[in-house]
Structure 1
Amino acid sequence: MEAPICIRSALPADSGIISRIIERSIRVGCAFDHRNDPQRVSAWLAQLSAEQISAWLANPQCYVNVALLGDKPVGVGMAAACGEITFCYVQPEWFRRGAGRALMNDLHGWLRIRGVLHVNLNSTRTGQAFYRRLGYRESTQPAARDGLQTLAMTQSFDTSA
């Protein structure tokens, strides 16, 4: 039996591993989106450097989390206090095994504590089915961003709970 996936807040020392998880997830897991075009991959990764991640980790308006299987990081996610999920990346070999859902549940919890009622994100085509399963719905037509097709999605939290 596989160990359970645990979620914790990211630490400043995690910026390198977070960057590597994101890079691998994009290069391998999102190949459908970038079609192995080196320029698209470079443009996508340029926004997600270890230095940028360090800045997010230092920003109290951002929350970055890490999914661990045992002591091995297998995924990362980030939310902004304004109600935006900035990213959720999982190592491709851990797709469909609960890490992404666990990351998103934790990000949602962080946002709810801050009184956020509506969450927004931009999904790639690779991630759309995942976000739909979590209750997200399209909020606009697909758009191009850095040569990638993205879809704005939204979810409202149930306030009766």
Structure 2
Amino acid sequence: MQEIERKFLVVSEDFKNEAFKNFRIKQGFLNTHPERTVRLRITGDKAFLTIKGKSSKNGLSRFEWEKEIDIDEAEALFELCEPGIIEKTRYLVKAGDFVFEIDEFYGENEGLKVAEIELNKETDTFEKPQWLGREVTGEIKYYNSQLSKKPYKNW
């Protein structure tokens, strides 16, 4: 399946008042090679194994495969993850026909807030809320796989 998304920095806390849902996420990476990443994620009482391919030249799209796995298996697999477990709260905010996912990071990435919007096609247009800052689509340092290696606090 092809994933098409754009990524932005977040410039204020106002998105929290607009969120219709939020939840904690713990994730680690079994592989962070630039050609492919293998991510392990626990969200509430569900766990997922996700494989992502290399991004397109413009950074907008890449292959993504995801499978729900048993939470006990996920906890065991965290022992095999590369160093740099990521913890964050994800907020969901409706914007017209789309939903922004805003991640507020903790730990080594404390202070970083990134919004992503998944599109149906690269040319889709969408409403840009006031709290949306500079676009960072395709900037590899903002990928979670890279934040696990080179955390925001060390920039």
Normalising by structure 2, we get a TM-score of 0.28
Q: Which of the pair has the greater relative contact order for Cα pairs under 8 Å at 6+ separation?
A: 2
